[in-house]
Amino acid sequence: METIRKSLRDSAFARWFALALISLTMFFAYFFVDVAAPLQSMLERDYGWSPETFGMLGGSEFFLNVFALFLILSGIILDKMGIRFTIITAGLAMVIGGAIKYYALTEAFAGSGLSTWLDGFWTNVPASAKLAFFGFAIFGVGVEMAGITVSKTIVKWFKGKEMALAMGLEMATARLGVFAVFRLSPIFADKGGADNSVFWGVAFLTVGLLLFLMYTFMDIKLDKEIGEEANGEPEEAFRVSDLWLILKNPGFLAIASLCVLFYSAIFPFQKFATDMLASKLDISMIDAAAMFSYFPIGAMVLTPFIGAFLDRKGLGATMMLYGAILLTISHLIFALVPAESFTEPVAYGTIVILGLAFSLVPASMWPSIPKIVEDRFLGSAYGLTFWIQNIGLLAVPVLIGWSISVSNPGVAEAIAANDPTAKYNYMVPELIFAGFGVLAMIMSVVLKTVDKRKGFGLDLPNKK
């Protein structure tokens, strides 16, 4: 039996190849997440969207996950049905939701009866936005389901081995998708409009679904070799009542709170960063998107090294605190440095600081969850963490869009009228992001205190 086990999971080539398949799909998924992020001014000008509408688009990705509890359901499905069923379901949801979002921006939809019907209610939001919200919400179910499934998949292949490094490399590959979208999406849009950018995003999602299908064959073989049943169900089955056990765990509550606070100052910021840089530096959207594209590069390069350090030396809880501090510093620079002093070198330096924060916290946080909860409901623990995170990711883009409009009266109308001098001041939104950073710092200290009291070993090495 020991010889059989070493034929696949203990084969370095096999486990790293499995990681490559699922990581590439997350690359395509993250590309689509931010495919509209560099297009804010184009959507306002060509489709009649407002900053609030653009913020609602960012929040709509998480609507079903939060209000319909799809993320918690996704974690239960993962623990009940296994990795293969869940990963294919996630891939299909991403493609279907992405296709609906693409259709919402096409001329075919603009002249359709569906568009006319959607125009009949909620009249201050264009029909294109309403359908795009719906499609992005379906995509959001898929991408978050994929995220928790990929996390559990990495634990399955790498527990007791290079788990933090593997998670770091997966996150680095996903970050490369963010780099790619800020480079390519403005070019696609310049060639064929905003709908062209989204079309290419859907094409990439389709390739990702095929890669997920390829992975399932490796998963089938691994399950046979380690003696699990075909559906991958653990020996002690998950029960819905176990959700209460997770929520009673103070370590889980601390790390989930840190997660929502930290990511609320990262992912919503990505939606508005291009326009913020263009406004503050008085440069084009294409140049601003290209500048911000370097943000995920720092995270992509550093995250695997941080993961390897955590595997060998530990200090996971400490790294989370350092990351929260850097997050706060970067947003305070964006908020408080006046435009005349905010040069391109300052912008690049601040982006590097934010990228370092984006390396430290995720690389430390996700491998820490298996130390806090039992394996039999690990999928549900990841699902609950993502659900709590999604509450912030749903609300914060709407909050930021609203704060932009309130603190910049009349600017949205000037942009819609093609006034080339009109631009937003982002001091208030950036102070909001910095506030989340301060709260994340506080929660990092709480997590270290809980770890010391409960002995989870978050500062201990992952590799045994």
- pLDDT tens digits, residue range 143-187? 989 988 998 899 888 877 888 788 888 988 988 898 899 999 999
Half-sphere exposure of 269 (CA within 13 A, CB side): 32
Per-residue pLDDT of 5-57, as tens digits, reads 465 777 888 889 999 999 999 999 999 999 998 888 889 888 989 888 999 99
Across the range 421-438, mean pLDDT stands at 95
Residue type, position 50, single letter = S
| Averaged pLDDT score across all residues of the chain | 88
- Alpha carbon 46 to its chain centroid, in Å, reads 27
The more confidently predicted of residues 216 and 362 is 216
**Check whether domain 2-454 has CATH 1.20.81.30, yes or no:** no
- Amino acid 214: pLDDT: 95
Supply the DSSP symbol for 48: -
| Sign, CA torsion 357/273/424/436 | negative
| Highest mean pLDDT out of 91-100, 380-389, 451-460 | 91-100
- Amino acid 439: pLDDT: 97
Whether 2 shows a pLDDT value over 50: the answer reads no
**How much of the chain, in percent, has pLDDT values that exceed 70?**
95
The more confidently predicted of residues 38 and 327 is 327
Whether 77 shows a pLDDT value over 90: the answer reads no
Across the range 56-71, mean pLDDT stands at 88
Residue whose C-alpha is closest to residue 125's, from 215, 59, 198: 59
3-state secondary structure of 199: helix
**What six digits make up the tokens of 63?**
């609507």
Q: Residue 275 in contact with residue 41, Cβ under 8 Å?
A: yes
**What six digits make up the tokens of 272?**
């508005």
The more confidently predicted of residues 28 and 305 is 28
Confidence of residue 228 (pLDDT cuts 50, 70, 90): low
pTM reported for the whole predicted model: 0.79
- Amino acid 161: pLDDT: 80
- Amino acid 300: pLDDT: 76
Q: How far apart are CA 346 and CA 341, in angstroms?
A: 8
**What six digits make up the tokens of 207?**
């390739």
Alpha helices, DSSP H, located in 193-249 = 194-226, 242-247
Confidence of residue 127 (pLDDT cuts 50, 70, 90): very high
Per-residue pLDDT of 259-293, as tens digits, reads 999 999 999 999 899 999 999 999 988 899 999 98
The 8 Å CB, 24+ separation contacts for 344-349 are: 344/281, 344/291, 347/277, 347/280, 347/281, 347/291, 348/291, 348/294
Whether 237 shows a pLDDT value over 70: the answer reads no
Across the range 220-237, mean pLDDT stands at 62
Q: How far apart are CA 151 and CA 259, in angstroms?
A: 15
Look at 105-114, 218-227, 376-385, 403-412 and tell me which has the smallest mean pLDDT. 376-385
Residue whose C-alpha is closest to residue 38's, from 291, 297, 275, 334: 275
